[in-house]
Amino acid sequence: MALVWSKQGPVSFLFFSLLLTMFSVMSALPSQQTPSTFGTPLVLLVSFDGFRWDYLDRTDTPHFDSFVREGVKAKYIFDTFASKTFPNHYSIATGLYQESHGIVGNVMYDPFSGANFSLSVKQNPVWWNDGEPIWVTNQKQGGHSALIMYPGMEVKIRGQYATYRLPEYNSTFPFKERIDMITNFFANDSVNLGLLYFHEPDHSGHVLGPDSPGMDAVLQMCDETLGYLMEQLRNAGLDDRVDVIITSDHGMTPVSSNNFVQLDDFVDPSLYHYTNNNPVFGIWPFKESDVEVIYSKLQGVGPNVNAYLKEEIPARYHYRAHPHIAPIVLVAKEGWAIHRGNDTSRSYYLGNHGYNNSLMSMHPIFIARGPSFRRGLVVEPFENVNIYPLICQILGLEPAPNNGSLGNVQDLLRYSGVVKKSTTPETFTTESGSNAKPPSSTLSTSTIIGIAIAGAVLIVAVCLLVAMCARQRSYRQPPRQYTPIADTSLDVADDDIDDSGFSSYNYPNTKI
């Protein structure tokens, strides 16, 4: 195609000058920028299981450090009680406390059906359907989601699987391959939401203890994992398009095999069955009449275990209302465990979690970067149930009922967000107060005035342009043709990705 040059310099100059003026006026208006300005909003939620809030300060983690500088960080966040893996991953995904979504432990019992839930028996949707996870919310409103090893991945929740998922959890699946899969989904425009899970540093924290010098190598491996993730996003041209949220389900505290309470010393084991989510222990008496009897005996269990009737569990735990919660709940003090009979499983552990979620050792991390997030900001702690409404805000989704509040996390964002529907979703009533309403989408007065000014400028520009064109008709000259210069730019191939820089540390069943 030939380039065309014409002798209308004054007209063009005037026209473009006026356009520049109009652009300047519009630029001065209050920013309403959202990710949709640059295309469909994209969110990747990454969970490093058991990543305690202060792990970032104990060893060299350059990729985490760079991520924090380019985004936002909470000093720490509060996980939900009990501080266990499945319950908290579902609280993050649904914005619900455990008493609301019903996943109250890694081990559960349903008193109505007599069914048992464990990490190996978890696919029945009945356990999960009390909450709506973010991937179901996204898909109900036209989005597509990918789950890589995230808890709940194998389950058809409220009639839906994730759009893309692996059929079952596999801890030996290399971390790099998990990253490659999730980034390919984004690169191919297959999804607008991804959830990615890594079982470290939780696994090593249990075996080595969180304060062990050996944990430094594990944390450096996690840092290299993040580095590889960001490299793959950059290679795909996605690092400035995807909002990446990195968080965890809980922290970790040191434990000793000597610190335990033997339950059989206080209560006849023939009177009850139990759910063991050490350090939280559920007592299910076979007879309702034995509830008070057993509870009375447990008052002598000592200072290192608290025994609660279900209805007397502290309100701050939000752990009373669901039928999956036992009639009697025991909660060990930090660093202690509860044993029954010869069950000393995991007594070799040097680290554990599940304790009072107000303990500093139980707090996980939260950091985020991307087009929606501010840069270099550190905020006060907030509850992990606020992550669900945050993601809904970024993706422009109407949230399902939840215990979170967008108002608690709104300051993380660079913009007011996009909300597809103007109605405020119904939310659960909580002791901490009701949810904040989404920001109003009504145009401000200054915005309206600015648009009016810009419109007037454009009208004047068009009128002047028409007048100038009319005056120049008498001496318009035929255009001269120029052949475009051939493109001589070089094709530069992408550098090969060098993976040799990864740490040589290899923990069993852990591959980068």
Q: What is the pLDDT of residues 460-494, one digit of tens each?
A: 555 555 555 444 443 333 333 322 322 322 222 22
- Report the pLDDT averaged over residues 423-448: 36
Q: Give the pLDDT score at 170.
A: 95
Using pLDDT thresholds of 50, 70 and 90, give the confidence band for residue 376. very high
**How much is the pLDDT for 454?**
58
% pLDDT > 70, the chain: 73
Rounded percentage of the chain residues whose pLDDT exceeds 90: 70
The SS3 call for residue 389 is: helix
Express each pLDDT in 203-217 by its tens digit.
Answer: 999 999 999 999 999
> How much is the average pLDDT of 109-133?
92
Question: Does the pLDDT of residue 408 top 90, yes or no?
Answer: yes
The overall average pLDDT reported for the chain is: 82
What is residue 442's predicted lDDT score, i.e. its pLDDT? 36
By C-alpha distance, which of 105, 151, 393, 370 is closest to 246? 370
Confidence label for 341 from pLDDT (cuts 50, 70 and 90)? confident
Least confident of 73-82, 192-201, 412-421, 425-434: 425-434
Is residue 265 scored above 50 in pLDDT? yes
Q: pLDDT-derived band of residue 188, with 50, 70 and 90 as boundaries?
A: very high
Give CA–CA dist 491/32, Å, rounded. Answer: 38
Mean predicted confidence (pLDDT) in 4-24: 40
What CA–CA distance (Å, rounded) separates 101 from 402? 9
Where does the pLDDT of residue 505 fall: very low under 50, low under 70, confident under 90, or very high at 90 and above? very low
- What is the structure's pLDDT at 411? 96
Catalytic residues: 85
Confidence of residue 50 (pLDDT cuts 50, 70, 90): very high
Question: Which stretches of 236-372 are DSSP H helices?
Answer: 291-298
* Dist CA 500 CA 508 (whole Å): 20
In the prediction, which pLDDT does 187 show?
97
Q: Return all residues near 410 (Cβ < 8 A) that are at least 6 apart.
A: 393, 417, 436, 439
- The confidence score (pLDDT) of residue 268 equals 96
Instruction: Among 219-223, 338-342, 371-375, 434-438, name the one with the lowest average pLDDT.
Output: 434-438
Pairwise CA distance, residues 486 & 244, whole Å: 41
Angle, alpha carbons 90-259-353 (nearest 5°): 15
Q: What tens digit of pLDDT does each residue of 239-264 get?
A: 999 999 999 999 999 999 999 999 99
Interhelix angle 85-94/387-395, rounded to 10 degrees, is: 40
Residue 119 is predicted with a pLDDT of 79
Instruction: Flag whether the pTM goes above 0.95.
Output: no
Instruction: Identify the pLDDT of residue 421.
Output: 36
Supply the pLDDT for residue 123: 84
pLDDT of residue 189: 94
Other Cβ atoms within 10 Å of 219 Cβ, number:
25
Tell me the per-residue pLDDT of 148-184, one tens digit each, with 9 for 90 and over.
999 999 999 999 999 999 999 999 999 999 999 999 9
pLDDT at 409 over 80: yes
Total length of the chain: 512
DSSP string, 86-155: HHHHHHHHH---HHHH----SSEE-TTT--EEBTTB---GGGTTTS--HHHHHHHTT--EEEES-TTTT-
